[in-house]
Amino acid sequence: MSSFFWNMFQSGQIDQNAIKSSHNSVRTNSNSQDLTYLQDRLDTLSLANQAMWELLSEQLGLSEADLLKRMEHIDLRDGVKDGKITKPVIQKCPECGHQSKTHRACCYWCGASLSSTSPFAG
C-alpha cells in the first residue's frame, strides 16, 4: 500500500517538474528573442548615430570635443553621470498585464510582442 502512495507522490513530483521545465523553456525563448532584438536595435542605432554624426560634422563643422561635451550634458540630465540617458521605463503588457521594461521586445511572462513609439525610447 505504501508503494502505491509513493508512486503517486513521485508522479506528482514528475508532473510539477514537467510544468516548471515548460515555463523555463518559454522564458528561455523569450530571453533569446530579447537578445536578438537588442542586438538588432544596437546595430541600427549605431548606424543612425554614425550617419548623424558625419552629417553634423561635415555640415556644421563640429568637432569630437563638441560631441563629447554634448554627450556629457545629456548624460547628466537625470542627475547621474553614468553613460545612460535615463532609468528604464516600465510598461504594461497589452496581453497579460504584467509590467515589463520598455527595452524588452517581448513580454517576459507571456511572450507577447512589446512595441516602442520612439527609436530612442527605453
Average pLDDT, stretch 82-109?
Answer: 81
Tell me if 115 is assigned to some domain: no
Instruction: Output 82 or 117, whichever has higher pLDDT.
Output: 82
Instruction: Read off the DSSP letter of residue 67.
Output: H
Mean of pLDDT over the chain: 85
pLDDT at 87 over 70: no
Tell me if 56 is assigned to some domain: yes
Q: How far apart are CA 72 and CA 52, in angstroms?
A: 18
pTM, two decimals, is 0.47
Domain that holds residue 83: 2-101
Tell me if 120 is assigned to some domain: no
What is the number of domains present in the chain?
1
Tell me if 108 is assigned to some domain: no
Helical residues (DSSP H) of 1-122, grouped into ranges: 2-60, 64-75
Cell of 88: 528604464
pLDDT tier at 70, thresholds 50, 70, 90: very high
Amino acid identity at 13: Q
Please name which of 93, 97, 99, 98 lies closest in space to residue 113, comparing C-alpha atoms. 93
Q: How far apart are CA 56 and CA 63, in angstroms?
A: 9
Q: How far apart are CA 39 and CA 54, in angstroms?
A: 23
Percent share of the chain, pLDDT over 90: 34
Tell me if 62 is assigned to some domain: yes
Tell me if 116 is assigned to some domain: no
Instruction: Output 84 or 71, whichever has higher pLDDT.
Output: 71
Q: How far apart are CA 23 and CA 75, in angstroms?
A: 38
Tell me if 113 is assigned to some domain: no
pLDDT at 88: 59
Tell me if 81 is assigned to some domain: yes
Average pLDDT, stretch 94-99?
Answer: 90
Q: How far apart are CA 120 and CA 75, in angstroms?
A: 14
Q: Of 32-46, 59-73, 83-97, give the lowest mean pLDDT range.
A: 83-97
Please name which of 29, 14, 18 lies closest in space to residue 109, comparing C-alpha atoms. 29
